Structure 1
Amino acid sequence: MATFLVAIALLILGYIFYSKIVEKVFGIDDSRETPALTQADGMDFVPMSWWKGSLIQLLNIAGTGPIFGALMGALYGPVAFIWIVVGSIFAGAVHDYFSGMLSLKHKGEQFPNLVGRYLGTGMQVFVNILSIILMILVAAAFTASPAQLISSITPLNFTVSLVLVFAYFVLVAVLPINKIIGRIYPILGAVLIFMAIAISVALLFNGQPIPNLTLNNLHPGELPIWPLLMVTISCGAISGFHATQSPIVSKTLKKESDGRKVFYGAMIGEGIIALIWAAAGMTFFGGTGGLQEALTLGGPAGVVNEISISLLGTVGGILAILCVIILPVTTGDTALRSSRMILSEVISKYLSFKGTGQVFLVTALVSVPTFLLATIDYSFLWRYVGWTNQLTATIMLWTATSFLMKTEKQHFITGIPAIFMTAVSATYIFYAPEGFQLSYPISLTIGTVLTIIVLAIYIKKIIETRKPKTKDIKIA
């Protein structure tokens, strides 16, 4: 139990102290007008209070990630607590802050355009494709999962449920942000926080001891911690999906100082939620073996339902259903909205018309493949989200590092986590079932070599930036 309480305290202290360091390094100025004010259009650029922005951001980035991912990560044992705490404070929250604030700095630009500014046009083209693929995969997966649950608890069949969920996605993608997202999502964000707090209090007083820290790998399937844990628990530690969501909220900030509360703060909140559910998974079933059996029988949704009803009674059961249905819906719809925004920035370079016509055209372009993918197996879709998600996070961290280097600021706050995530992504893709499926030693070797190469390039850039700039000398 001590480890759990210390971990929560560290996350809170990370927000109180480290977020201010990150903010100072970025450099804010509340005298500058934000895009929400200078580009207000009643659609995407709409001024909102910081607390609304924080709850919307939390709901957008959360989905079922900090719950389902944390439960899967809990199979490794209390070592998962370390990744959630360290990842959230020094990687995930930093990643989210820079993705949001760089967007704000550049008039609400989407993630691929930010990459183009700081890593070049070649990388921008790649990230445009990667981001849209990731958004479509997430939107499709988060259409299928709630549709499956709705069809299992109502008279509606899967196809009808799928159409209803997706129709809602399209509606949210084309409506102004203050019509549904700005009005309803802060309330749903508060429900998510309430449920996490209720589960944590019940855990502390139900008589079962929450496991304390051990570095041993307790995974029943003996899967390696590195780098699988870092991909399994992404939402709740660091997730590249957030880089596509932060620009949505950056368009609503009234002043730059709100960014620390909205972007860094929401990620810390997500980390706390992940920590609570990881602890619940380890504790409730008497260890990782029991958790594995429960996941095999009922899947993550079944585990959430069982824990919630047992600890919180009928109210818990209602909250569980709400979370398992609402959370993926409120992330899938903003994923579709984000893909619409990203594709709009690409199309605007070639087509001159804007406004409602462009919104509907682009939404239609991303909706068709999303709906078709939503009809296939959810687990198959989610398998391919993991690596693309963490690769996106890696690229965002390098984008932020390039920005800090070019502006001669302390780039190590993003450079070090960028190197770490490079190692995660490079190793995982060679080992994973959806990747090259190489042996673990070979994957580890290739991942290490690739990381060393990237590190060497980074060090070279650092040396180049530290060289004194020569001045032209005029000869009299």
Structure 2
Amino acid sequence: MNTFPVILLALGILAIGYRYYSKFIAMSVLGVDETRTTPAHTQYDGQNYYPMGKWVLFGHHFAGIAGSGPLIGPTLAAQFGFLPGLLWLVLGVVMAGAVQDLVILFASVRRGGKSLAEIARKEISGFSGVTAALAILFVVTIAEAGLGLAVVNALAESSWGTFTIGMTIPLALIMGVWMFKLRPGKGIREGTVFGVLGLLAAVIFGKLIPGSFLGPYFTFTKHQLTVLLGVYAIAASVLPVWLLLAPRDYLSTFMKIATIMALVVGVFIVHPDFKMPALTEYIAGGGPIVPGPVFPFAFITIACGAISGFHSLIASGTTPKMISSEGHIRTIGYGAMLMEGVVGIMALVAATSMFPGDYFAINTPVAQYQAKIEARYPIVNLPNLSADVGENVQGRTGGAVSLAVGMAQIFTGIPGMRSLMSYWYHFAIMFEALFILTTIDAGTRVTRFILQEFIGKFYPPFARPDWLLASVSSSLLIVLAWGYFIWTGSISTIWPMFGIANQL
């Protein structure tokens, strides 16, 4: 079956959902009022509460919610066939995921930009608020550790990826100062052009870093990257939101969306077929990647691509404190989640356009594949794929490698790009790391808000978001918590709980 008409139909459903259903929820159910003053204005402090332009904030919010889930989840769920994941990604995001994000964002804006735990305390009871805060702190710590480990694994010994992603930090700082201090209200377009051109240069010249005299300066071990990641997360959590976090997320969103749109164009040009069947025998359970049956494990595995509890933390964390007008809530809350749904759909297409034997050979250990899967799904093109990307990809479990191979296959199917398989493969690996990193910085800042609110119940001054000592100390505690799990590798023992807790 050809993927082209399926993608057109899916995009059409998402567009209809945004045009009609989101308007109904926002205006008729919630009662969004564009004339109402938002907390970004009434509680402005120049640090956390700061009115942000709609599209800059859209970029921040999308970057904050779109982590590994919409990329890796659909890739792993492809073991059930292309149909279950496709149906859930399209219907789930329109009817559930985007609605949740919209409603939580609206609720937080109407309650002064407070966190989900604080809203629970005020609307239900003090005990409920404490319980919610503790549960959120646990879940987010595990999520940050798991996402951080994925970034560390992707960038370890990769000077190209580290250089390109690292360059987004100085670019964001310059953009922040220019757009919000030197040219407030007028410098968005200029800052955007500068940032996008700088990012393109970083991607192009990043390919030249390995093997050059700069290579060793951007090559780090996993432990070194863990430390650098922690330092960056603290800075993003503590610095004024307009200086680093928002402009960097805004800049990263350009690369994220541009890459996904390029993948959509690639599908329209190449017209790849679904090589994975609509349904596999693993829908009943016993799969080599996800052991459980399609219900409920397809929903748990796909996670953020369709609906995610983690999104409610961003929607009640940094974003509501920067909403300039309630009229922006629909675009940011519902629209950003629809965009994440597009990411999930394209990841599923990239994975299921591979031959099933090649897909399973990458995503399962070699011995397991040979013993239990090879007879049913034999390898077709894997040796050629490994040769084209320049490394052996068999047995590279986890989803990231198979997604990168699938994306590279589509890109190299475009006329004139056949010889660029290795480039697109390594670009896709770096792209995945960039996708995940923006969730870590926003997640750390959101968790800092929750921790300050929680400790503030016992020592009220600690709850002040503008108190630097409280901000730094709470950020440090959070980073030490998830950094410990990355450093020791123990995150793998408790990570499976995150998928279930995230959906609950």
TM-score by length of 1: 0.77
Query: Residues 77-108 of structure 1, C-alpha deviation per residue, up to 9 Å, x if partnerless?
Result: 12211111111011101110111111100000
Corresponding residue number in structure 1 for 2:13: 10
Corresponding residue number in structure 1 for 2:48: 44
8 Å contact from structure 1 (residues 217, 225) kept in 2: no
Tell me the distance in 2 between the aligned counterparts of 1:31 and 1:80: 40
Cα pair distance change 1:377/1:365, threshold 3 Å: closer
Corresponding residue number in structure 2 for 1:307: 406
8 Å contact from structure 1 (residues 138, 385) kept in 2: yes
Say if 2:130 is the partner of 1:32: no
Corresponding residue number in structure 2 for 1:79: 84
Percent of aligned positions with the same letter in both sequences?
25
* Aligned pairs for 1:447-462 within 5 A: none
* Aligned pairs for 1:5-404 within 5 A: 5-24=8-27, 25-77=29-81, 78-154=83-159, 155-210=219-274, 214=278, 220-221=287-288, 223-247=292-316, 248-283=318-353, 285-287=354-356, 289-296=357-364, 297-299=395-397, 300-312=399-411, 313=420, 316-317=424-425, 319-353=427-461, 354=464, 355-375=467-487, 376-391=489-504
- CA drift of 1:137 comes to 1.0
8 Å contact from structure 2 (residues 305, 344) kept in 1: yes
Q: Which moved more, 1:75-84 or 1:305-314?
A: 305-314
**What is the letter of the counterpart of residue 89 of structure 1?**
V
8 Å contact from structure 2 (residues 47, 241) kept in 1: yes
8 Å contact from structure 2 (residues 79, 280) kept in 1: no
8 Å contact from structure 1 (residues 110, 342) kept in 2: yes
Aligned residues: 389
Tell me the distance in 2 between the aligned counterparts of 1:176 and 1:97: 25
**What is the letter of the counterpart of residue 323 of structure 1?**
F
Cα pair distance change 1:207/1:21, threshold 3 Å: closer
- CA drift of 1:215 comes to 6.1
Query: Residues 401-447 of structure 1, C-alpha deviation per residue, up to 9 Å, x if partnerless?
Result: xxxxxxxxxxxxxxxxxxxxxxxxxxxxxxxxxxxxxxxxxxxxxxx
Corresponding residue number in structure 2 for 1:412: none
8 Å contact from structure 2 (residues 80, 279) kept in 1: no
- CA drift of 1:20 comes to 0.5
Cα pair distance change 1:301/1:213, threshold 3 Å: closer
8 Å contact from structure 1 (residues 104, 251) kept in 2: yes
Tell me the distance in 1 between the aligned counterparts of 2:35 and 2:310: 30
Cα pair distance change 1:330/1:27, threshold 3 Å: same
Tell me the distance in 2 between the aligned counterparts of 1:211 and 1:57: 34
CA RMSD of aligned residues (A): 2.0
Tell me the distance in 2 between the aligned counterparts of 1:378 and 1:235: 19
8 Å contact from structure 1 (residues 148, 161) kept in 2: no
**What is the letter of the counterpart of residue 42 of structure 2?**
T
| SS at 2:305 equivalent | coil
TM-score by length of 2: 0.73
Tell me the distance in 1 between the aligned counterparts of 2:141 and 2:148: 10
| SS at 1:43 equivalent | coil
| SS at 1:44 equivalent | coil
For structure 2, the 5+ residue unaligned runs are 160-218, 365-394, 412-419
Cα pair distance change 1:21/1:207, threshold 3 Å: closer
8 Å contact from structure 2 (residues 92, 307) kept in 1: yes
Q: Which moved more, 1:165-174 or 1:359-368?
A: 359-368
Corresponding residue number in structure 1 for 2:367: none
8 Å contact from structure 1 (residues 88, 236) kept in 2: yes
- CA drift of 1:61 comes to 0.5
8 Å contact from structure 1 (residues 4, 212) kept in 2: no
Corresponding residue number in structure 2 for 1:418: none
Tell me the distance in 1 between the aligned counterparts of 2:32 and 2:142: 34
| SS at 1:338 equivalent | helix
Cα pair distance change 1:381/1:186, threshold 3 Å: farther
Tell me the distance in 2 between the aligned counterparts of 1:144 and 1:211: 31
**What is the letter of the counterpart of residue 261 of structure 2?**
I
